[in-house]
């Protein structure tokens, strides 16, 4: 009997436990996911430069071909190839012995002509006194005067020969016509160089500063001028235009340059206009023929719109899109047209207007149509 009562009590306790468990709240019921948080920027117009990146090559400011101006055997090279030389430095020495002989001969001819002039003048002077008293004929006097004039002309010719011989003798020492960096020697000692074909001996290039020659299409120039005429862009003063050089390895050259000129003609074969900038080159880092790109500031857009590059998605078809936040806090895809890249931003020519809210951080957490929670975008990367 006792065991039966114990059994009834156990059954009752078990039933009450089931009832209590059934009345307890369910702990594992699914919960609504939180609204994703995204970092956003609010679009506003701003003043930005209109720049263009254009390819080109480095050119030396001055190039001088060192050539022989005297004929003879090259005796000595007096410079180190690839070194810096100054204007007037002696670079080569040509055998001067034949040139010295020509000079001595010319000098002797000059002395002979001067003596002949002295003699003929003396005769003409004597005949002048004698013809007055009819001691000599008028014909003899005229001949004496003509002889004196002829001797004077011969002296002038002899003097010119001496001056030529002096110049040729000086040309035996080949000097640098400009200061700059000299390349390899084109001839070696013992070679016969000639004044007739002006044998090239070396090339000197002035490398500080240097020119950067580049081209821009005439289409871009016309588009830019229409923007000026329509008041969409403001012109940049040539003295204020920034010219930045981008080297082949992607680095930015440390010294800014200045725009010198734009050509007044268009190349009919390419439709391009040639421009030239000048850059300081104290370290001789820039070498003639080197390829580079120039970033040229051409105008000022006072109502420019830009977005961080990380906010822009580029499709395989070249179309660009951003995600914006609508007035009802939902994410929406917006197609845009990109302009130029400025540092870490894209300029936008169409698709956005001041006041639009663009999602920059948290794009991987959302899809179009989702409700989002917006916080200001932190460029330091604190948005989660």
The pair of three-digit structure tokens given for residue 330, joined into one six-digit string = 């939902």
Instruction: Flag whether pLDDT at 195 surpasses 60.
Output: yes
Q: Chain centroid to CA 302: how far?
A: 27
Better-predicted residue by pLDDT, 32 or 382: 32
**CATH classification at residue 147:** 1.10.287.470
Q: Given this model, what pLDDT does residue 263 score?
A: 65
Q: Given this model, what pLDDT does residue 16 score?
A: 46
Separation CA 334–CA 197 (nearest Å): 71
- Spatial strand order of the sheet with 173-175 comes to 173-175, 90-94, 72-77, 192-193
Provide the pairing of β-strand 173-175 with 90-94: antiparallel
**pLDDT-based confidence at residue 8 (cuts at 50, 70, 90):** very low
Q: Given this model, what pLDDT does residue 237 score?
A: 60
- Whether 147 is in a domain gets the answer yes
Instruction: Flag whether pLDDT at 333 surpasses 80.
Output: yes
Is residue 268 domain-shared with residue 237, that is, in the same domain?
Answer: yes
Separation CA 204–CA 59 (nearest Å): 13
Total domain count for the chain? 3
- Whether 19 is in a domain gets the answer no
Q: How far apart are the first and last CA of the chain?
A: 70
Q: Given this model, what pLDDT does residue 242 score?
A: 74
* Average of per-residue pLDDT across 235-262: 77
Instruction: Flag whether pLDDT at 19 surpasses 50.
Output: no
| b/e map 144-165, b = 16+ CB within 10 Å | bbebbeebbebbeebeebbeeb
Separation CA 124–CA 289 (nearest Å): 69
* Average of per-residue pLDDT across 74-94: 88
**pLDDT-based confidence at residue 211 (cuts at 50, 70, 90):** very high
Q: Given this model, what pLDDT does residue 12 score?
A: 44
Q: Given this model, what pLDDT does residue 11 score?
A: 45
Half-sphere exposure of 111 (CA within 13 A, CB side): 6
Separation CA 369–CA 219 (nearest Å): 41
**CATH classification at residue 215:** 2.40.30.170
Q: Given this model, what pLDDT does residue 224 score?
A: 62
* Average of per-residue pLDDT across 79-96: 88
Q: Which residue is associated with the tokens 């002039």?
A: 117
- Whether 214 is in a domain gets the answer yes
**pLDDT-based confidence at residue 341 (cuts at 50, 70, 90):** confident
Give me the phi and psi of 122, to 5 degrees please: -65, -45
- Whether 159 is in a domain gets the answer yes
Q: Given this model, what pLDDT does residue 148 score?
A: 83
Instruction: Flag whether pLDDT at 258 surpasses 70.
Output: yes
Cβ–Cβ under 8 Å, residues 214 and 263: no
List the single range of 80-84, 126-130, 282-286 with lowest mean pLDDT.
126-130
pLDDT digits (tens, 9 = 90+) for 153-172: 988 998 999 898 888 888 88
Better-predicted residue by pLDDT, 3 or 207: 207
Better-predicted residue by pLDDT, 234 or 323: 323
Q: Which residue is associated with the tokens 């071909």?
A: 65
**CATH classification at residue 324:** 2.40.420.20
Cβ–Cβ under 8 Å, residues 160 and 58: no
pTM for the predicted model, two decimal places? 0.62
Cβ–Cβ under 8 Å, residues 352 and 305: yes
Name the burial class of residue 227, with classes exposed (0-12), middle (13-18) and buried (19+) by CB atoms within 10 angstroms of its CB: middle
Q: How many CB atoms lie within 10 A of CB 226?
A: 11
**pLDDT-based confidence at residue 49 (cuts at 50, 70, 90):** confident
Quick check: helix, strand or coil at residue 223? helix
**Considering 301, 329, 347, which residue would you say is the last residue of a domain?**
301
Residue-number span of the structural domain to which 318 is assigned: 305-376
Q: How many CB atoms lie within 10 A of CB 380?
A: 6
**Considering 285, 301, 317, which residue would you say is the last residue of a domain?**
301
Instruction: Flag whether pLDDT at 357 surpasses 50.
Output: yes
Instruction: Flag whether pLDDT at 339 surpasses 70.
Output: yes
pLDDT digits (tens, 9 = 90+) for 129-138: 787 777 778 8
- Whether 2 is in a domain gets the answer no
* Average of per-residue pLDDT across 205-228: 77
Is residue 267 domain-shared with residue 233, that is, in the same domain?
Answer: yes
Is residue 219 domain-shared with residue 296, that is, in the same domain?
Answer: yes
Better-predicted residue by pLDDT, 10 or 247: 247
Separation CA 72–CA 79 (nearest Å): 19
- Whether 104 is in a domain gets the answer yes
Q: Which residue is associated with the tokens 């030389």?
A: 85
Separation CA 244–CA 259 (nearest Å): 10
Region at 251 (left for phi over 0; alpha for psi -120 to 50; beta for the rest): beta
Cβ–Cβ under 8 Å, residues 358 and 323: yes
Instruction: Flag whether pLDDT at 43 surpasses 70.
Output: yes
Question: What percentage of the chain reaches a pLDDT higher than 90?
Answer: 4
- Whether 132 is in a domain gets the answer yes
Q: Given this model, what pLDDT does residue 152 score?
A: 87
Name the burial class of residue 361, with classes exposed (0-12), middle (13-18) and buried (19+) by CB atoms within 10 angstroms of its CB: buried
Is residue 135 domain-shared with residue 212, that is, in the same domain?
Answer: no
**Considering 273, 301, 329, which residue would you say is the last residue of a domain?**
301
Question: What percentage of the chain reaches a pLDDT higher than 70?
Answer: 84
């Amino acid at each position: 009997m006792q065991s039966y009562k114990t059994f009834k009590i156990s059954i009752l306790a078990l039933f009450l436990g089931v009832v209590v468990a059934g009345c307890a709240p369910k702990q594992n019921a699914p919960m609504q996911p939180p609204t994703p948080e995204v970092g956003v920027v609010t679009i506003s117009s701003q003043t930005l430069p209109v720049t263009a990146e254009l390819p080109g090559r480095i050119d030396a400011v001055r190039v001088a071909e060192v050539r022989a101006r005297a004929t003879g055997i090259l005796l000595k090279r007096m410079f180190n190839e690839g070194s810096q030389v100054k204007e007037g430095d002696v670079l080569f020495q040509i055998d001067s012995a034949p040139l010295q002989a020509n000079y001595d001969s010319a000098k002797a001819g000059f002395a002979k002509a001067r003596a002949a002039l002295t003699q003929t003048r003396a005769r003409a002077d004597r005949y002048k006194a004698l013809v007055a008293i009819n001691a000599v004929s008028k014909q003899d006097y005229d001949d004496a005067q003509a002889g004196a004039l002829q001797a004077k002309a011969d002296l002038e010719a002899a003097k010119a020969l001496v001056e030529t011989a002096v110049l040729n003798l000086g040309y035996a020492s080949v000097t640098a016509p400009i200061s700059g960096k000299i390349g390899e020697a084109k001839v070696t000692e013992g070679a016969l160089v000639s004044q007739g074909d002006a044998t090239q001996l070396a090339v000197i290039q002035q490398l500080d500063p240097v020119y950067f020659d580049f081209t821009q299409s005439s289409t871009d120039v016309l588009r830019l001028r229409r923007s000026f005429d329509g008041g969409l862009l403001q012109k940049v003063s040539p003295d204020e235009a920034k010219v930045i050089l981008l080297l082949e390895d992607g680095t930015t050259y440390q010294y800014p340059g200045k725009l010198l000129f734009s050509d007044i003609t268009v190349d009919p074969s390419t439709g391009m206009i040639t421009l030239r900038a000048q850059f300081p080159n104290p370290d001789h880092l820039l070498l003639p023929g080197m390829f580079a790109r120039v970033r040229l500031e051409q105008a000022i857009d006072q109502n420019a719109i830009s977005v961080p590059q990380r906010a822009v998605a580029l499709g395989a078809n070249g179309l660009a899109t951003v995600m914006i936040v609508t007035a009802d806090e939902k994410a929406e895809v917006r197609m845009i047209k990109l302009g130029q890249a400025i540092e870490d931003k894209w300029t936008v020519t169409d698709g956005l207007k001041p006041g639009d809210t663009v999602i920059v951080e948290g794009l991987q957490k959302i899809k179009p149509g989702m409700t989002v929670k917006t916080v200001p975008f932190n460029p330091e990367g604190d948005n989660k």
